[in-house]
Structure 1
Amino acid sequence: MVDPDIVVDKLRHINEYTNDLKQMRGMSKTEYVEDVIVQRAVERTFMNLIQSCIDLAQHIRASEGLSPSGTSKKEIESLGSANIISSAVQEQMEEAVGFRNILAHRYGDVNHDVVYAVLHNDLHWFEQFQQEIAQWFQQRY
């Protein structure tokens, strides 16, 4: 059975990290690319945000006895397969896991143009993930 405290805590973290990233928007791409401190703050916040999503997916998968664990992407996939999240959100969150891996493990150089684009164009996917999980949780518990 899902631990309500864990779900609420992870949803709160997802919300906080998303709001933090929204506050880091506003500078031009040129300013962003030239500001290493802001880049590091954005990248670390993205890593924390995406890891919180993975942790939440992992907890739900394990608690609900969904498909066996594997990679972080499999954790997200299990939520989609169980119709806890929509297929569109599942796809975007699986991409986010890959994005986190690039940021965390520095596979090649991080493309700051891509990070800037995700910051300005893709935060709504994290909000949608949060909303879908919260809706599932409220209906179920």
Structure 2
Amino acid sequence: MVDEEVVATKLRQAHEYTNDLEEMRGISKAEYVSDVVIQRAVERTLMNLIQSCIDLAQHVRAANELSSGGTAKDEIQALGELGIISQDTRERIEEAVGFRNVLAHRYGEVDHEVVYEVLHEDLLWFERFQQEVAQWLRDRDS
């Protein structure tokens, strides 16, 4: 059974991380690329945001007694299979999971211009994820 408090907590965390990232958007690309402290703050916040989405998905998948495929992308895919998130959102969040792995494990050098673009172009997908999960949670209560 899905623990609504766990889902709500993860949604709140994701919302806070998204807001933090939105506040960091005001910096120019040149300043971002040259400032390692800001880079680390953005990267860590992105990793936390993506991880909160994974944790939420993992809880919902387990509560619905779906078997785990063993990867974080499989957890996100389960939300799509359950009809909780749209296909577009699922695909974009799955991409974000791969991006989190690059940031967390430093597979090669992190391209700071790419991170800057993610910061400015891709937060809307996390907002959609949050909206879709919140709608699913509301619909369950009706």
Matched, 1:18 2:18: yes
The corresponding residue for 2:115 is 115
The corresponding residue for 1:105 is 105
Give 1:18-57 correspondences, 5 Å limit: 18-57=18-57
**CA RMSD across the alignment:** 0.8
* Distance in structure 2 (CA, Å) of the matches to 1:80 and 1:51: 17
User: What letter matches 1:140 in structure 2?
Assistant: R
* Distance in structure 1 (CA, Å) of the matches to 2:18 and 2:67: 28
1:23-72 Cα offsets, whole Å, 9 max, x none, are 00111111100010000000000000000000000000000123434100
* Distance in structure 2 (CA, Å) of the matches to 1:7 and 1:140: 12
Identity of aligned residues (%): 66
TM-score, with length taken from structure 1: 0.97
User: What letter matches 1:115 in structure 2?
Assistant: V
Contact 1:72 / 1:97 at 8 angstroms: preserved in 2?
A: yes
* Distance in structure 2 (CA, Å) of the matches to 1:31 and 1:132: 34
Cα shift at 1:112: 0.3
* Distance in structure 2 (CA, Å) of the matches to 1:121 and 1:77: 22
* Distance in structure 2 (CA, Å) of the matches to 1:93 and 1:131: 13
1:61-84 Cα offsets, whole Å, 9 max, x none, are 000123434100000011111111
Aligned length: 141
Q: Which runs of 5+ in 2 are unaligned?
A: none
* Distance in structure 2 (CA, Å) of the matches to 1:20 and 1:34: 20
Q: Which contiguous aligned blocks of 4+ residues in structure 1 show a shift greater than 6 angstroms?
A: none
The corresponding residue for 2:6 is 6
TM-score, with length taken from structure 2: 0.97
User: What letter matches 2:73 in structure 1?
Assistant: K
Secondary structure at 1:110's aligned position in 2? coil
